[in-house]
Amino acid sequence: QVQLVESGGGLVQAGDSLRLSCAASGRTFSTYALGWFRQAPGKERECVAALSVSGSITYYADSVRGRFTISRDNAKNTVYLQMNSLKPEDTAVYYCAAKPTYFRSSYGFSPNEYDFWGQGTQVTVSS
């Protein structure tokens, strides 16, 4: 079991940056593939970024590629999402998720692939 707690959301203006953090409990954090998802009102939850166990393989949604960066610090049991050049369409509740896996190159971009979720943090970008 792992518990995930997100932080770092808030209200910003278009063009600003935010860094989301997700702290995990447990001693097996380094064996989890990780993802950041977001869900806007009336829309399905979508993966914006994912990271393999090894940290060497990443996935980004087309809408955020080049603006968002996912990273992990296994020593701190934390995964980050650096968000730059924010746009009003980035407004959503952002969730981190963890997927236990034996494969260091494994990652996932479907919500169904992830077993553990944080409670979410609101990001609002004003125009």
How is residue 72 annotated by DSSP?
Answer: E
- pLDDT-derived band at 104 (thresholds 50, 70, 90) equals confident
- pLDDT tens column, 20-78: 999 999 778 889 999 999 999 999 999 999 999 998 999 999 999 999 999 999 999 99
Burial code of 43-60, b = ≥16 C-beta within 10 A, e = fewer? eebbbbbbbbbebeeebb
Residue-level pLDDT at 83: 98
Q: How much of the chain exceeds pLDDT 90, in percent?
A: 83
Identify the band that residue 3 occupies on the pLDDT scale cut at 50, 70 and 90.
Answer: very high
**What is the C-alpha separation between 117 and 4, in angstroms, rounded?**
6
Q: How many CB atoms lie within 10 A of CB 29?
A: 22
User: Where does the pLDDT of residue 82 fall: very low under 50, low under 70, confident under 90, or very high at 90 and above?
Assistant: very high
Residue 1 has pLDDT above 90, yes or no: no
| Average pLDDT over every residue of 87-93 | 98
Distances (CA, A) of 85 to 17, 105, 117: 6, 29, 26
CA distances from 3 to 72, 102, 116 (A): 16, 19, 7
